Amino acid sequence: MSKLGKKLIKGMKEAVEITKNKVPAGRLVCDGKHWIAEDGTKFDTIDEMCDYDAKKRKEKIKKLPLEKQKAIKEKEKKRLQKWKEDEKKFEEKMAKQRYKRKFADVDTWSMSDWFCDVVPKMIEQLIKNKHGWQPQLGYKIEKGKLVKLKKVKMEHPHSKKMVMMYPDITFEDEQKVLKYLADKIKKIVELDSYDALPKKFTAKDVIKNQKELIKTKDEALKLFSDIFFSLGD
């Protein structure tokens, strides 16, 4: 694990102790067992908390006079309509930016999210349409595991001199390595989500998840770096 990863784990452990049970509404209590609703009620899952808050708001609105209920519904309807219009304008603006400069403002808000969303799709598209391959890739998949190949002494195809090079791999071998990379990057997204944790999880589960997340991220980026100049047709 990298030094940065170790520091992150250490910081998380300290944060658990410092902020334990001091969490605002809508957040997870740091014991990892409860979510806090708007009125302070604790729940085992975030879905239960959200359903509870929504139910409470509906009950509160039903107690109001009919005129106020209609006004609230009309206001909510207008708000949703405006939100849809604003969302459409925003998407059109982002599309124009991507056309002009290859990226949009929204892509810079979280480059890691952009990378994990776009790059696997690009790799899968490359796999689908690829014609040539890099016989000197330096990696191979054996029994489902990534294997770093060792350089061997062989004749250079252009200079005819004996040099240290990676043993050649087949087109199918490269396809497997590329798929492995795409799956690894997708795994980062899976781990960086509450869905990766048990329904009732503890701080230990969170720390374990973060360790696996950092390890997966390091492995994916190392492979991406090592085959960087081979990512193309």
pLDDT of residue 33: 64
Is residue 34 in a domain? Answer: no
**Residue 12 placed within a domain:** no
164 belongs to a structural domain = yes
CA-to-CA distance for 123 and 29, rounded, in angstroms? 39
pLDDT digits (tens, 9 = 90+) for 35-84: 778 777 888 777 888 888 888 888 888 888 988 888 988 998 999 999 99
| pLDDT tens for each residue of 116-152 | 999 999 999 999 998 888 888 999 999 989 999 998 8
- Looking at every residue in the chain, the average pLDDT score rounds to 85
Kindly report, residue by residue over 156-189, the tens digit of the pLDDT.
777 778 888 888 899 999 999 999 999 999 999 9
Alpha-carbon distance of 133 to 142, in angstroms, equals 18
Q: How many domains does the chain have?
A: 1
Q: Is the pLDDT of residue 210 over 60?
A: yes
Distance between CA atoms of residues 166 and 4, nearest Å: 31
Give residue 8's pLDDT: 60
Cα–Cα distance measured from residue 187 to residue 233, given in angstroms and rounded to the nearest whole number: 25
In a domain, 39, yes or no: no
Range of the domain at 125: 110-233
Judge whether 68 lies within some domain. Answer: no
Asked whether residue 229 is domain-assigned, the answer is yes
**pLDDT (average), residues 8-28:** 52
Who wins on pLDDT, 154 or 97? 97
Whether residue 64 lies inside any domain: the answer is no
The CA distance from 58 to 79, in Å, is 17
From the number of C-beta atoms within 10 Å of its C-beta (0-12, 13-18, 19+), residue 149 rates as middle
User: Is residue 50 one of the residues assigned to a domain?
Assistant: no
- E strand spans, the chain: 35-36, 42-43, 139-142, 145-148, 152-155, 162-165
